[in-house]
Structure 1
Amino acid sequence: MKNPILKAMLLVVSLFFFSNFVAAQKATQKVVIKTFLHCDHCKECETCGQKFKTEMLKIKGIKMYELDEKAMTFTIYYNAKKTNLQAIKQGISKLGYDADEVKANAEAYESLDGCCKA
């Protein structure tokens, strides 16, 4: 490239896209939330499994989640610009599950299958 103006414009455009990429990466946060599962098959359960598949990603800001049944934890990847940790915990509570110190919503807990309750 012999044209210095073209080089400068290309550099500015590249920096713009790179900075937006970096900003988007910083907005994504990861958190591990302790829960309590009463059965060993929650992911496959007719009630719980469907709730996880359809409702977890409806909680504002959650991009992805993983449920570790053995460790009884949710690993949540979320957009920190759209939500915060407390809102996520409240959302999990509304599904009928504990989320760290936030206890499960009683009404939502009662709607779970019998095998998923203590």
Structure 2
Amino acid sequence: MKTKVLSLVTLFMLSVVTVFAAEKTETFEVKGGDCEECKTHIETTTTGVEGVTSAVWDVETKELTVVFDDEVTTLDSIEMAIAQAGNDTPTYKAPEEAYSALPECCQYEKEE
């Protein structure tokens, strides 16, 4: 009997956590070149952040739409990871070393 009650309580607690897990969608600019290699690099970097479930970067508009669990990560952490990989975001500028490591086709005009 105790096992059944404990199982039911555990199941209830898991369902409550699932209900309150918040999936969030944000769109912001990410500097990059005009090629599919840039698109792959930015999207792969973004989806590599724990908690990110989807990332789509538009080559023409330079906008990244990212879907993530805000219980696991933050927009700030996502932007920081992208900058560390070589691409500027609204909040973070890529370190020169990371930017220089990008393929020439993926390098973009850096703002001072």
Q: Does 1:31 align with 2:26?
A: yes
Structure 2 CA distance, aligned partners of 1:54 and 1:85?
16
Q: Which residue of 1 aligns with 2:19?
A: 22
Structure 1 CA distance, aligned partners of 2:34 and 2:16?
44
What's the Cα RMSD here? 2.5
Structure 1 CA distance, aligned partners of 2:15 and 2:79?
32
Structure 1 CA distance, aligned partners of 2:28 and 2:39?
18
Give SS of 2:53's match.
strand
Q: Cα distance 1:52–1:34, how it changes in 2: closer, same or farther (>3 A)?
A: closer
Give the unaligned 5+ runs of structure 1: 1-15
Query: Which of 93, 99, 102 is matched with 1:103 structurally?
Result: 93
Give SS of 2:91's match.
coil
Deviates more, 1:48-57 or 1:58-67: 48-57
Q: Work out which of the two has the higher radius of gyration on C-alpha atoms and give 1 or 2.
A: 1
Deviation at 1:61, TM superposition (A): 1.7
Q: What is the TM-score when the length of structure 1 is the normalising length? A: 0.68
Q: Cα distance 1:90–1:51, how it changes in 2: closer, same or farther (>3 A)?
A: same
Q: What is the TM-score when the length of structure 2 is the normalising length? A: 0.72
Give the unaligned 5+ runs of structure 2: 1-11
Task: List 4+ stretches of structure 1 deviating above 4 A.
Answer: 16-21
